[in-house]
Amino acid sequence: FSEKDYENAIKYYSEALELNPSNAIYYSNRSLAYLRTECYGYALADATKALEIDKNYIKGYYRRATSNMALGKFKAALKDYETVVRVRPNDKDARMKYQECNKIVKQKAFERAIASDETKKSVVDSLDIENMTIEDDYAGPKLENGKVTLAFMKEMMEWFKDQKKLHRKCAYQILVQVKDVLSKLPSLIEITLKETEKITICGDTHGQYYDLLNIFKLNGLPSETNPYLFNGDFVDRGSFSLEVILTLFGFKLLYPDNFHLLRAKGNHETDNMNQMYGFEGEVKAKYTAQMFQLFSEVFQWLPLAQCINNKVLVMHGGLFSEDGVTLEDLRKIDRNRQPPDSGPMCDLLWSDPQPQNGRSISKRGVSCQFGPDVTERFLSQNKLDFIVRSHEVKAEGYEVTHSGKCITVFSAPNYCDQMGNKGAYIHLRGSDLKPEFHQFTAVPHPNVKPMAYANTLMQMGLM
């Protein structure tokens, strides 16, 4: 555990529990290891089991509260934090987490109380971008006649590299324009690669801006002849999320037909998780709460899946809790909303593959895990060859499972500055659609820690 090898920690705690299944400490410690690997559903189950064994085991309440916070179940978390504070009134960390959680619960209740049935006004309607002044002392990149150009993109990337902030007028211009572009797209994007063409598919980037620049260095800048597909989880955790997302949105505007962005799980392009894992805090620190609201609107318009040459389906999470879902069903999804707790939209963003046949309860506490037989039936019904998804850290940056029919790609190397994993991206060529994997390692970045803007509840201690 101290070496942050959480997968092995889970393995050894599991072996210990086989020998001693009534040890609350083992369940609690495995719960923390699951939290660190983002298996929040398993973490919640273990913390609950620890408390079934010993209802006085205070760390069990603490772990269960943390698990529920990670899942956005704030009321349940608050109840357990109350227990911890009552038993340990002098524990500053527990009291701070209780107060923070209580604040979120009250905020959510207030938001529900003032919500109206009327169509929610867009932030765009309250902006007067034309009359925003760019001060004389601002020396950074500016849009040319209100448009993104390649020269602007190159200048902006260098500006960000030096940890400088894009003028708010330029940021708003990008967001308003990209919202307009995304809102006109279908939920399922369908593209055709000619025999000589290739596309690069990248997985999670999670606010790791300097690793994103490295992808472009290794693989070339996006262009009409060098198309990209970024498969969700652009923000949160890494502390340069704004730089990542503005760069990606800029390229979407520059090459709308050759640069593709898909929505991620109910995790990192949705409000609850942006609040917990850093993006909301980062936008408010660097700009304003109003700009975060606009980001939230834009994220809801990101397409959910992409089909390449009618043979390869790409989505962030995976396949479905029930058989029979078709590509036509995906086309019909109304995506302009926060993700539901179940159904095809939820599954596309949240599910994970498993090695055994059938389906099982999700390790994340949302959606499901699906086996090779589920993949085979889905591909057969929809006349597809394989799926590409992201959503999980992989030691090598990618993983091929389900007899080559389910591929995971993850593009945030040394995730959170601690996992030691490689990153990867995939080339698919129109001639044969055979995936070519390219691995890379993390590059240095300024001394700003991951989760720097995250809610204090997610900056987890080892209590």
- 3-state SS string for 15-68: HHHHHCCCCHHHHHHHHHHHHHCCCHHHHHHHHHHHHHHCCCCHHHHHHHHHHH
Record the tokens describing residue 424, joined without a space: 């990867």
DSSP state of 165: P
The position carrying tokens 């850093």 is 278
Rounded to the nearest angstrom, the gap between the alpha carbon of residue 343 and the centroid of all alpha carbons in its chain is 19
Which residues, 6 or more positions from 109, have their beta carbon under 8 angstroms from its beta carbon?
none
- Region at 187 (left for phi over 0; alpha for psi -120 to 50; beta for the rest): alpha
**Cα-Cα-Cα-Cα dihedral of 340, 344, 349, 352, to 10°?**
120
Q: Report d(CA 31, CA 9) in Å as an integer.
A: 10
Record the tokens describing residue 444, joined without a space: 């240095």
Q: How many CB atoms lie within 10 A of CB 319?
A: 30
Sheet holding 352-353, edge to edge: 352-353, 368-370, 359-361
Q: Report d(CA 220, CA 270) in Å as an integer.
A: 30
268 is catalytic: yes
Q: Tell me which residue of 393, 392, 355 sits closest to 374, measured CA to CA.
A: 355
Of the residues 167, 206, 260, 268, only one is catalytic, namely 268
Burial of 117 (0-12, 13-18, 19+ CB in 10 A): exposed
Q: Which residues form the catalytic set?
A: 268
